[in-house]
Amino acid sequence: MLNGAGSRPLLQVDLGRIRANYAAIVAETRAEVAAVVKDDAYGLGLSAVSRSLYEAGCRSFFVADLSEAVALRKILPDGSIYLFNPTSFAQMSIYIEHRLIPVCNRLDQARGWVAVAGDLPLAIEVETGLHRFGLNYPDLRHLKQMIRRRPDLLISHLASADHPDAQINQLQRNRFLAAIELLRPERASLIASTGLGLPQSFHFDLVRAGSLLYGLKSGRQDRVIQSVVRLTAKIINVQSVAKGEGVGYAAAFRTQRSSLIALVAIGYSHGLPFACANRLTIGLGVDRAPLVGRIAMDYVAADITDLPRNRNWLGEMVDLIHVDQTVEDIAQASHASPQELLLRFGNQTRRIYRDERRSAQTT
């Protein structure tokens, strides 16, 4: 018997907790805290998340590209908006109209921006050891000869910020200091979320907060950063299965007793990784039940034999992300990154926002 087989899983995003996480990060640093809201705010919704962070006092935002920057400016009338990946300044009027700041990460980009931007803000990314984007020191010397003013912002990115004792952290800081000495920027930014545990000397003027805002603790053990998402899906079928029967494709799970198996309407099409088969649980209140068998495109099975029998489980909404199973736990079980999973869940489920200041809204 099926009930609501076409219903999609629901991702609840707690905007109040995002604001609380922002306040917790602000309390950990003397620097300004900017919000990284690239890729639709890690899949949680650019508009709702950015508005909420602006209410919390955030005034600097980083996005992935020009389209996101334009969309964000339409949401926020003021504040600084930085583009990590500018591609072309051919449509200079767009940058001027929306007051956008590209983070130039190649010498040709910096040369192009200086040629057309006049006195508009100039942001430069420096290569210090990550070897992804950024001007190296010879590039910076060329840039120094090209411009007569100080850059408004100089940034770089640590390769091993989640390992505080890694020698490369100090090496990258030293290289960043050399770039600062050469260009004398108005402000400098070296660390993102994972760098908050490093000494204040790494924080400089601006911290770029991303993962921590969205409840991804990056190995932190404290309880200051709160989980901001809850993933739920509906039980759409319940079957009694005899001992020794296989469940799902290839009989990847075989019952060891007479069992009650529930079919839950979530699968890898909704972002649940195929690789975490037989490794996760569902939650309903204080009760837990293991997911069993392979994860299908739209469904997964759960062994609810040990759950109370005095209720009708059909149609119940169960938690895939709960107090005992975080996004990071699912990531570890599937050998994925938690950021990747947030993007998957955010893009492939229905989103609903919880905010004590307003009524809930679904996207």
Q: Which residues are catalytic?
A: 38, 249
Indicate the SS3 state at residue 186.
coil
Cα gap 50→44, rounded to integer Å: 10
From the number of C-beta atoms within 10 Å of its C-beta (0-12, 13-18, 19+), residue 182 rates as middle
Return the DSSP state at 276.
G
Task: Report helix, strand or coil for 180.
Answer: helix
**247, β-bridge pairs:** 253
List the end-to-end C-alpha distance of the chain, in Å, as a whole number: 29
* Closest C-alpha among 1, 77, 8 to residue 234: 8
The DSSP-derived string for 109-148 is HHHHHHHHHTTS--EEEB-SSS-SS-B-HHHHHHHHHH-S
| Joined tokens for residue 7 | 């219903």
Burial track 20-33 (b if 16+ CB lie within 10 A, e otherwise): bbbebbbebbebbb
